Amino acid sequence: MKFGTKCIHAGVHPDPSTGAVMTPIYQTSTYAQSSPGVHQGYEYARTQNPTRTVLENNLAALEKGLACVCFASGMAAMDAVIRLLNPGDEVISVNDLYGGSYRQLTKVHGRYGIVSHFVSMNDPEDIHP
């Protein structure tokens, strides 16, 4: 497949319940379970849903990756990445970032020993802890 075709079709399969060639947008928040924790692959939309699964598969295929994880917001993605750090690790950030990101670094992750430095990125000489 050429890249344009991959953008549309890579990682996408017909919907098993309807046969729709393109993935429907699932707007439900909950999914039926035969008993608690026993489901057909999806239980609650905030953890995962079929639409996001197809997006992740499509992006992984485009990047020739094994997997992909998509988030509902940049703040959620940032939180997931920072949680890979250990106490004492340091983050160097631009000094004029979004206020919510600043608070996430200082108020949330700072409590767990992640040290953040906020610097001007106008001069490469300024980029040091």
SS3 90: strand
Q: How many CB atoms lie within 10 A of CB 42?
A: 18
Q: Return the half-sphere exposure (C-beta side, CA atoms, 13 A cut-off) of residue 83.
A: 6
pLDDT by residue (tens digit) across 47-102?
Answer: 888 889 999 999 999 999 999 999 888 999 999 999 999 999 999 999 999 999 99
pLDDT at 129: 55
**Helix, strand, coil tally for the chain in percent (to 5):** 35, 10, 55
Whole-number average pLDDT of the chain: 89
pLDDT at 67: 94
Tokens of 102: 């600043």
